[in-house]
Structure 1
Amino acid sequence: MDSNVTLIATATMGLEALVAREVKALGYENPIVENGKVEFEAPPEGIARSNMWLRTADRVKIKMAEFPVYSFEELFEQTKAVPWENFLPEDAEFPVTGRSVKSKLYSVPDCQAIVKKAVVERLKKTYKTSWFQENGPLYKIEIAIHKDTAVLTIDTTGQGLHKRGYRPLHNKAPLKETLAASLIMLTNWHPDRPFVDLFCGSGTIPIEAALIGQNIAPGFNRDFISESWHWLDQTIWNKARQEAEDLAKYDQPLDITGTDIDHKMIDLAVENTKEAGLFGSISFKQMQMSDFTTNEENGCIVSNPPYGERIGEKENVEALYKELGKTLRPYDTWSAYFITSNEKFEALYGKKATKKRKLYNGNIKTDYYQYWGKRPVKK
């Protein structure tokens, strides 16, 4: 396939602008930013490169068609008009999933069945057969209808992009890797400055910081559903991996520390760091947040502290936030960033944030409190 494809990088609400910034950094111009997604044009190798490099997106899909739809008949005809044969081989396995919001066609199972039938009818003509074995590569088709506009896509990612391949083990409520990377990319941190996470859990934030600091592609350690597609030549994937290898700065020195009160979490974080191939790049310590001290200047703290969502935890968490404010007060050249759903955070921490940003951690509505340190003195 020589012509461009239209790609959709899906994103958590509030992170679309970051995803668009990453798309532009890959060299794909004029991305269109909408709620929960960023749309852009790219040559076929863009499928491999965007899966390899997008740190903050959830997945990458090929947009096959978009059209207004008010009846099942229209859905069938419009779907059948799409050139599926350009993408799906005769042995393709092509399950259809769906969702429908604020639309006349609200029965998702019916929408899925109609799309499936329309694709089959289209492929029957091309492949001159009435039966498809579906025992070849997987092409996951999705029909998404919103306010009577249908969008048909094929997923190129497989397991979500947050599955970097380094975290087989994690704590009960882990922060998604994509969100952790976003939190870091919303800071003023540079790899030549110290970086600390005071509530590191299984190490996700420090690991994502190290990947960013050494410019290691987040998808380097895993595979993708579209690697088995016949029209996406294996050389495209080889080139994307070679590019990732060439651009990595493995010798960039890093000063990254993760601390947690729970020694089991520290053991887990160390294991995950080994899995990520970053052993030795990050220091982990079991300690209380209130024991944090440093002689360094202009560092950056990024943390996902406990929120106190469970009954009985609230008082402990409020005391913790007060202690956190007291502990960090002496370090006025440091910038500190905290994500929490606790709306009283600023009052408890004892300082108004320089900037606040609404983000979702899974289904939890949170704020990202950003405290900028004094600017470093230019030498």
Structure 2
Amino acid sequence: MTKFELLAPCHFGLESVLKREITDLGYEITEVENGRVTFRGDASAVARANIFLRTAERVLLKVGDFEAKSFDELFEETKAIPWEEYLPKDGKCWVKKASSINSKLFSTSDIQRIMKRALANRMQDAYHMDRMPETGEEFPLRVFFLKDRCVVGIDTSGDSLHKRGYRLMQGAAPITETLAAALILLTPWHPDRILVDPFCGSGTFPIEAAMIAAGIAPGMNRSFVAESWNHLIPKKCWYDAIDEAQDMVKEDAVCDIQGYDIDPDIIKVARENAERAGVDHLIHFQQRPVDQLSHPKKYGFIITNPPYGERLEEKKALPAIYRALGERFRNLDDWSMFMITSYEKAEKDIGRKADKNRKIYNGMLKTYFYSFMGKKPPKRRIETPKTEG
């Protein structure tokens, strides 16, 4: 089967998590850059990456990688890509999104226009046509310019992979599903440990954790644009990947995951989202303010996305919120806490310096993921069977 070079964008600062996911799927990593990981795989890798990767934003089929400092160079390099190997005669292909950083070519609309003309010329020559009919399947392109280097990928996902299909409604300051999953995977949390999100909003952290616990692949219940590319990705690849995902679901999964929020309406939304995700039986949602956070058991985890105070009126309430969180955390017995926030006085108001913090860009917003580590539980003793002598 033909080998492809595939490119998976992710949140800046979380490349290591995505790299581990791709490696666990069995694929060879060829490059790790800021905000993306490149790897090799066959047609089945396109289906499996889309269905199984929790932390990638999308999966792109990489078709071009070249330097272009002028629009003439961009035209010629784009035309040199063997588009006819990827697109059928009637394929609809266009540059859906272009980005440019520290490059001589910075007008994204001009980049889109020039590249569209170049690929049209190539297709017309290859198929001996006067014009591209573009009546067939869609092949959206994503183009990245960085320091005059241009990387071109055909988007196999369509809608961003954070759209799992369960979150129809959300709170005022939601965290994306892909970011939530990546942050959970950054922690040492395991499904046999307690997890509480005291600012759960529409339930993204608890739902993503429950999906991990139950072995539910994030792309099981959605469609992808590449499903119709039968000349490149045989239908069997998608059927096999879905069968694999269904075999991995743990019907008997048991865990202690809880989500609290002060807003009763958003708790209702969280329950509905969890039901759509198929994990409502694994999560306890409750209306509860942060100053009532408690749990009788030891060695639990808080993983949360507290208010940032982006609006002026919210900023005034932040010190009290973070002080309450810090106080309740200190009263939990040997727990660990992981928190993403852009609030600069988070550590001061919580009353403890974080053991680690990692800079992460949530969209264009610079945030920090703070780790407050508790004690590890004692290792379980494994009884060795006695042998009769």
Q: TM-score, normalised by structure 2?
A: 0.94
CA contact (8 A) 2:29 2:37 kept: no
Matched letter for residue 251 of structure 1: D
Matched letter for residue 107 of structure 1: S
The structural deviation recorded for 1:31 is 3.9
Q: Deviations over 1:339-372 (max 9, x none)?
A: 1111111111011111111112222211111111
1:219-234 alignment runs, 5 A limit: 219-231=219-231, 232-234=233-235
The structural deviation recorded for 1:70 is 2.2
Q: Which residue of 1 aligns with 2:23?
A: 24
Matched letter for residue 54 of structure 1: L
Q: Deviations over 1:84-122 (max 9, x none)?
A: 111111111112232322222233222222211221121
Aligned residues: CA RMSD:
1.3
CA contact (8 A) 2:297 2:333 kept: no
The structural deviation recorded for 1:332 is 3.7
Describe the shift of the 1:361–1:104 C-alpha distance in structure 2 as closer, same or farther (beyond 3 A): closer
Q: Deviations over 1:208-247 (max 9, x none)?
A: 0001111211111101111111221111100110111111
1:269-284 alignment runs, 5 A limit: 269-284=270-285
Distance 1:198 1:71 in 2: 52
Q: Which residue of 1 aligns with 2:82?
A: 83
The structural deviation recorded for 1:261 is 0.7
Q: TM-score, normalised by structure 1?
A: 0.97
CA contact (8 A) 2:43 2:234 kept: no
Which runs of 4 or more aligned residues in structure 1 lie more than 3 Å from their structure 2 counterparts after TM superposition?
A: none
Distance 2:269 2:312 in 1: 27
Distance 2:101 2:338 in 1: 35
Q: Which residue of 1 aligns with 2:108?
A: 108
Partner SS, residue 370 of structure 1: strand
Q: Which residue of 2 aligns with 1:38?
A: 37
Matched letter for residue 356 of structure 2: K
The structural deviation recorded for 1:30 is 3.0
Q: Which residue of 1 aligns with 2:386?
A: none
Q: Which residue of 2 aligns with 1:362?
A: 363
Partner SS, residue 89 of structure 2: coil
Matched letter for residue 28 of structure 1: Y
Once the two structures are overlaid, the 10-residue window that deviates more, 209-218 or 330-339, is 330-339
The structural deviation recorded for 1:263 is 0.2
Q: Which residue of 2 aligns with 1:262?
A: 263
Q: Which residue of 1 aligns with 2:95?
A: 96
Q: Which residue of 1 aligns with 2:128?
A: 128
1:331-342 alignment runs, 5 A limit: 331-342=332-343
Once the two structures are overlaid, the 10-residue window that deviates more, 108-117 or 171-180, is 108-117
The structural deviation recorded for 1:204 is 0.6
The number of equivalent residue pairs is 378
Distance 2:112 2:145 in 1: 11
Q: Which residue of 2 aligns with 1:182?
A: 182
Distance 2:83 2:313 in 1: 55
Matched letter for residue 81 of structure 2: V
CA contact (8 A) 1:299 1:334 kept: yes
Describe the shift of the 1:347–1:107 C-alpha distance in structure 2 as closer, same or farther (beyond 3 A): closer
- 2:251 equivalent to 1:250: yes
The structural deviation recorded for 1:47 is 0.7
Distance 1:353 1:108 in 2: 41
CA contact (8 A) 1:24 1:31 kept: no
Matched letter for residue 9 of structure 1: A
Distance 2:333 2:296 in 1: 12
Distance 1:307 1:337 in 2: 15
Q: Deviations over 1:297-327 (max 9, x none)?
A: 1111101111122112223110111111111
Matched letter for residue 224 of structure 2: F
Distance 1:44 1:50 in 2: 10
Q: Deviations over 1:47-95 (max 9, x none)?
A: 1111111111111111101111122222222211211111111111112
The structural deviation recorded for 1:144 is 2.5
Partner SS, residue 312 of structure 1: helix
Q: Which residue of 2 aligns with 1:345?
A: 346
Distance 1:369 1:272 in 2: 27
Describe the shift of the 1:297–1:244 C-alpha distance in structure 2 as closer, same or farther (beyond 3 A): same
CA contact (8 A) 1:299 1:335 kept: yes
Q: Deviations over 1:236-287 (max 9, x none)?
A: 1001101111112221111111011110011000110111111211110111
Partner SS, residue 267 of structure 2: helix
Distance 2:317 2:109 in 1: 46
Q: Which residue of 1 aligns with 2:385?
A: none
Q: Deviations over 1:128-160 (max 9, x none)?
A: 221222121110123322211111211111110
CA contact (8 A) 2:55 2:179 kept: yes
CA contact (8 A) 1:91 1:136 kept: yes
Matched letter for residue 23 of structure 2: K
Q: Which residue of 2 aligns with 1:325?
A: 326
Once the two structures are overlaid, the 10-residue window that deviates more, 136-145 or 84-93, is 136-145
CA contact (8 A) 1:20 1:31 kept: no
Distance 1:30 1:113 in 2: 32
